[in-house]
Amino acid sequence: MLNADLKMQDIYRHPVNPKTGFKKFKVVTIPRHTLLCRLDEGDAPEDPRFGVISGWWSPVKPFFDDIEGVVGKYRRAVDSGQTLRDYVRDSSAIKMEWNALSNYVQVKLKQDTKAWWGTFKEMPLWDTAEWVSVNYGWMADLKPLEKMQLARKEGNSGAMPEVLGLGESWQFYIPNLTDAHVERKPEWVVSSIDMPKLSQLLMNQV
């Protein structure tokens, strides 16, 4: 089992400080073969600097407190006329500067895994105080005004609230996750705005 000894209090000693992304959280065991997903700029690769994959993931299917999973979020996005990218940016409280959310990325756990599991903490849509001083990956090397214009185009932010994550949506933080712990397939990486292709992938897993 990955993270077999994980405890609630360990979150306060983790170098990434994932507690800042949770409103409330607990420790859960995720069974092997569970499908996980996240939206990312690329395919959520293992970071060569630290030898781990990002710990932030969501369940594809309903899991414990999350009664709908990302399959349900996809349906809600369709009902509201949004792309999955825009729906997830709001429900998962991901600031515009943090991530372009270009792709839906899915993996399957190879073993039972302990993780922190909780609700997203509200975040502002824009981190305006940081536009001038901080370069985020997908906006690097752009002037502040260009960043703002690109972010509005990419995020369809005119349809989004200024505060994200006001509803209740659930996420995992899985420390020590690496490529050795997950199964990947090329067809599990899909554009987060390609709703027909996402439908084909997600509805086949219901």
Q: Model confidence over 80-131: pLDDT tens digits? A: 888 898 888 777 656 666 667 789 999 999 999 999 999 876 565 556 544 4
145 pLDDT above the threshold of 80: no
Domain for residue 66, yes or no? yes
3-state helix/strand/coil string of the chain: CECCCCCHHHHHHCCCCHHHHEEEEEEEEECCCCEEEEEECCCCCCECCCCECCCEEEECCCECCECCHHHHHHHHHHHCCCCHHHHHHHHCCCCCCCCCCCEEEEEEECCCEEEEEEEECCEECCCHHHCCCCCCHHHCCCCHHHHHHHHHHHHCHHHCCCEECCCCCEEEECCCCCHHHEECCHHHEEECCCHHHHHHHHHCCC
pLDDT score of 168: 65
Average pLDDT rounded to a whole number, residues 127-149: 52
Residue 71 CB coordination number (10 Å)? 18
In this prediction the pTM is: 0.79
Euclidean distance between CA atoms 84 and 194, whole angstroms: 8
Domain for residue 2, yes or no? no
Domain for residue 1, yes or no? no
Domain for residue 97, yes or no? yes
pLDDT score of 87: 83
Euclidean distance between CA atoms 146 and 139, whole angstroms: 9
140 pLDDT above the threshold of 80: no
Domain that holds residue 92: 8-196
Euclidean distance between CA atoms 120 and 75, whole angstroms: 20
Number of domains in the chain: 1
Domain for residue 95, yes or no? yes
191 pLDDT above the threshold of 50: yes
Q: Residue 103 in contact with residue 39, Cβ under 8 Å?
A: yes
pLDDT score of 135: 47
Average pLDDT rounded to a whole number, residues 178-196: 96
Domain for residue 114, yes or no? yes
Average pLDDT rounded to a whole number, residues 119-147: 55
Domain for residue 206, yes or no? no
Query: Which residues have a Cβ under 8 Å from the Cβ of 143 and sit 6 or more positions away?
Result: none
Euclidean distance between CA atoms 123 and 174, whole angstroms: 21
Domain for residue 118, yes or no? yes
pLDDT score of 165: 46
